[in-house]
Amino acid sequence: MSDTHAQSVAFVRDTMLPEQPPPVTEAGAIKWVRENLFRGWFNTILTIVSLYIIFKIVSGAYPWFANGIWNTSSLAECREMLDGMTGACFSVLTERWNQLLFGFTYPPEAYWRPTLAFVLLIVALVPVLYPKAPRNMLAFTAIYPFLAYWLIWGGTLLIPLMVLVGFAAGYFAFKQFERQSFAMGMLAGFAATVVVIWVGGTIPAALPDVLALEAVRSRDLGGFMLNMILGTVCVSLSLPFGILLALGRQSSMPIIKWICVVFIEFIRGVPLITLLFVANVVLAYFFPPGSNIDLVLRVIIMITAFASAYIAEVIRGGLAALPRGQYEAANSLGLDYAQSMRLIILPQALKISIPGIVNVAVGLFKDTTLVAIISMFDLVGMIRGPILASTEWNGVYWELWGFAVFVFFIVCFTISKYSQWLERQLATDHR
């Protein structure tokens, strides 16, 4: 039977053909280009048009960057050096970089202080942002706000130290009374904090020179540093306040509920710029002359209130998205309100809310530039005011605004990348 086919089939292959490389047009870069860029006439036209536009942009912008002048001291000088060629006057950045970053009144010999505070900020954020980082780094995060205050504003170390001691006392009081009930713990902690700060507040007044750095007034803060301070402080303060407001709005106690509702709806109904004007202009009428509450503090309060209301609504969305069974399950385990929120509800609700919270945070960070309108010199304020109004640099636009765009883009892009990473880390559902 072995030659059954000998008459009907002329040839039977009895070995495998050796593997051959795919045709050139079906592999590697060429395939990718063919499939993605030149698939059909319509795509081909789109590709060619896009390439042409990209070429125009690059060839137009390249000489501007390549001929950039980095070492003149005024616009006129820069134009003289360019001698009619297209080119950027980046020298405005090299000459005024310190004003763009720190404002124009921050003492130059103290620039290392905010820089160090910024570097330490990254260290302090690591354990908060990355769950795998060593847990004992959280201790540094707890100290960081006080350290940063001391570095940026200067003065004696005793002031932030006393406040830190106050908070520590509050924490221990809270721990003592927490076993009785969560509310008792909070109350005791709050009372202890206030008492310790109030009593301890007399010590720095008596010893103003202990470990003192040169004091810098809030009015002298400026540049991108001010955006960073406002952004960091307001985002980190508005998270806890936002959570409390969101929970308060869901509370079954009518007074708490109505306070939260009124606050959130009022703040959301008012533009941020209005609140900033109130902070700057109207409040001054109601204080007696001389009792000047720090402008930066007023602005921080207003922006925090604004962001809290928005974050509260985002978190409320997360709370509403949880199935009712989760609340009932927590109750059936015999957990009280504080425990069920802390252990069951909030971890899930916050996870759902991450994209929304990050959205608010990025928006808030960019909104800090609005303080330029109430004559504070943040990055935008510095550009719009002092730098464009100086006789040397009147008329430089692209370089300065390009720098501002670059700096803000880096920060906002980083935040958004982080949140995407975090979402992937926390993804416990199996989609």
Partner 1 sequence: MNRIVILGAMTAAGLSAGVASAATLDDVKARGTLNCGVTTGLVGFAAPNANGEWEGFDVGVCRAVAAAVLGDPTAVEFVPTTGKTRFTALASGEIDLLARNTTWTFSRDVDLGFEFVGINYYDGQGFMIPKELGVSSAKELDGATVCIQTGTTTELNLADYFRKNNISYEPVPIETNAEAQPLYLEGACDVYTTDASGLAATRAAFENPGDHVVLPEIISKEPLGPLVRHGDNEWGDIARWTLNALIAAEELGVTSANIDELASGTNSPEINRLLGTEGTLGEMLGLDADWAVRAIKAGGNYGELFEKNIGENTPIGLARGLNAQWTEGGLLYSPPFR
110 is an interface residue for partner 1 by CB under 8 A: no
What span, in angstroms and rounded, lies between the C-alpha atoms of 305 and 70?
42
202 binds partner 1 (CB under 8 A): no
**Shortest CB 174 distance to partner 1, Å:** 40
Tell me the β-bridge partners of 223.
378
- Phi and psi for 123 in degrees, rounded to 5? -60, -45
Please identify which residue in 69, 75, 239, 404 interacts with partner 1, judged by CB under 8 A: 75
Question: Three-state SS for 294?
Answer: coil
Q: State the nearest-atom distance from the C-beta of 140 to partner 1, in Å.
A: 33
Which span (45-53, 69-77, 154-162, 315-323) binds partner 1, by CB under 8 A? 69-77
- Nearest distance, CB of residue 297 and partner 1, angstroms: 15
HEC-encoded secondary structure of 167-189: HHHHHHHHHHHHCCCHHHHHHHH
Restricting to residues 149-178, which ones interact with partner 1 according to CB under 8 A? none
CB of 360 to partner 1, least distance (A): 27
Shortest distance, position 104 Cβ to partner 1, whole Å? 4
DSSP 352-399: HHHHHHHHHHHHHHHHGGGGGGGT--BHHHHIIIIITTSTTTTT--HH
- The CA R_g of the chain, rounded to the nearest whole Å, is 30
Q: What would the x/- binding string for partner 1 be over residues 87 to 106, using CB under 8 A?
A: --------xx--x----xx-
On the CB side of 306, CA atoms within 13 Å amount to 26
Query: Could you give the string, one character per residue 254-293, with x where binding to partner 1 holds by CB under 8 A and - elsewhere?
Result: -----------------------x--xxx-xxx-xxx-x-
Q: What secondary structure letter does DSSP report for 23? A: P
Q: Which of residues 377-416 bind partner 1 (CB under 8 A)?
A: 377, 381, 384-392, 394-395, 397
Nearest to partner 1 of 322, 374 (CB atom): 374
Task: Write down the least CB distance from residue 69 to partner 1, Å.
Answer: 14
**Helix, strand, or coil (residue 155):** strand
Nearer CB in complex with partner 1: 103/242: 103
Give the range of 5-13, 154-162, 241-249, 370-378 binding partner 1 by CB under 8 A: 370-378
CA distance 261 to 266: 8
CB-wise, 18 or 289, nearer to partner 1? 289
Strand (E) or helix (H) holding 145? helix 138-153
**Over the range 178-210, which residues count as b (16 or more CB within 10 Å of their CB) and which as e?**
beeebeebbebbeebbeebbeebeeebeeeeee
How far from 351 is each of 231, 249, 311, CA to CA, in Å?
22, 19, 13
Task: Please answer whether residues 399 and 89 qualify as being in contact, where contact means their C-beta atoms are separated by less than 8 angstroms.
Answer: yes
Residue among 31, 38, 64, 76 that touches partner 1 (CB under 8 A)? 76
Q: What is the size of the binding site for partner 1 (CB under 8 A)?
A: 37
Question: Among 258, 369, 256, 266, which Cα is nearest to 308's?
Answer: 266
Cα(105)–Cα(121) distance, integer angstroms: 23
Among 116, 374, 411, 422, indicate the residue that binds partner 1 (CB under 8 A): 374
**Least Cβ distance, residue 198 to partner 1 (angstroms):** 28
**What residues have CB less than 8 Å from 389, skipping those under 6 apart?**
none
Nearer to partner 1, 164 or 299 (CB): 299
CB of 79: closest distance to partner 1 in angstroms? 6
Residue 75 CB, nearest approach to partner 1 (Å): 7
CB of 427 to partner 1, least distance (A): 45
- Within 8 A by CB and 6+ apart from 89, the residues are 68, 69, 72, 75, 78, 79, 82, 396, 399
What is the binding site for partner 1 (CB under 8 A)? 73, 75-76, 79, 95-96, 99, 104-105, 277, 280-282, 284-286, 288-290, 292, 373-375, 377, 381, 384-392, 394-395, 397
